[in-house]
Amino acid sequence: MNALFQPVTLRSLTIPNRVWMAPMCQYSAEMAGPNAGVPHDWHFAHYAARATGGAGLILVEATAVSPEGRISPADLGLWNDAQVTAFRRITRFLTEQGAVPGVQLGHAGRKASTDRPWEGGAPVAPGEHGWQPVAPSPVPFDEGHPVPDELTGDQIREIVGQFARAARRALDAGFRVAEIHGAHGYLIGEFLSPHSNRRTDAYGGSFENRARFALEVVDAVRAEWPEELPLFFRVSATDWLGEEGWTGDDTVRLARLLKEHGVDLLDVSTGGNAPRVRIPTGPGYQVPFAARVRAETGLAVAAVGLITETRQAEKIVAGGEADAVLLGRALLRDPFWPRHAARELEARVPVPPQYLRSV
């Protein structure tokens, strides 16, 4: 008996195994015009391959709740009906293959309006498909990045509403899991960390104030997301800045609050809120943060970060360090990683009838 290929039920949704696809931006949508933020053939082929490859849950990349919330002008979005219609083709196919379709909803904050990574990733100026970023405080992410506009109270409330409306569209588009992106130095993570949040109002200063925006977004999304479907939250468990930033202790404290507010699983990553930070990477280097949250709060967690080998992933789940593993680069290299892992563990998993001759 293996753990990796056992189903898991969150609320009323059963996910067929514990090998899940992490959200990874493709930076491949049109940048402007009526098709801005709309998924097309690249996105269909990309996600379809991982569904036929056996991933139990596929979390679609960071999908912006507004045009200004995109990391790059080439990001996906869920702010209009054209995007909903295009996503339905993807979610329908994933479901037909037995995979659960999920989507990560996000706002890039001060890290918005940047170029595609393979084109340098530098800030994109207004007038060049770019726009002026916003943030909790007027603190740029890095040298050469613009000073973001500090959000007003009214603007904060508008963005909370954008998350809620995007969740409603995600459901209409056929997604069964919604994940709120609170990690990697994007807007919600910027509010959480004292490194990027210098506010002196109700959204800054104390832990409770810095967590306020995250919880308001969770409440707004949970109000739109059906009671029977699970809600995830992605967090950077540490900024890797010590007490100057967000810490593992903060993450455990936040996890307890998220659980009270209706979050069903914490997707535990790290970093992203400060440039050139030294991170002690290695196989499974972020797993201990997930394991601690699970042990101290009872909240379900998914582990990420250099999980590449079958036995490694099996040990993480079987040992109770996480309820599932989210694979990123491993699934980019091999869309059929889950099926190869199932064979190695002698697990039985459904195979598309078109591929039965390969079994």
Distance CA 221, CA 153 (A): 19
Q: Could you confirm whether 285 is annotated as catalytic?
A: no
Q: CA separation (Å) from 4 to 87, 224, 296, 315?
A: 28, 31, 22, 9
* Helix (H), strand (E) at residue 267: strand 265-269
350: region left, alpha or beta (phi > 0 left; psi from -120 to 50 alpha): beta
**Any alpha helices (H) in the chain, and if so which ranges?**
41-52, 81-96, 153-172, 187-192, 207-224, 248-260, 287-297, 310-318, 329-333, 337-344
Kindly report the CA angle at 50 between 292 and 85, in degrees rounded to 5?
105
Residue 102: strand pairing partners: 59, 177
Q: How far apart are CA 319 and CA 306, in angstroms?
A: 17
* Active-site residue identified among 47, 186, 285, 355: 186
State the CB neighbour count (10 A cutoff) for residue 34: 8
Mark residue 320 as left, alpha or beta (left: phi above 0; alpha: psi -120 to 50; beta: remaining): left
Give the other-Cβ count within 10 Å of 197's Cβ: 21
Q: Which residues are catalytic?
A: 186
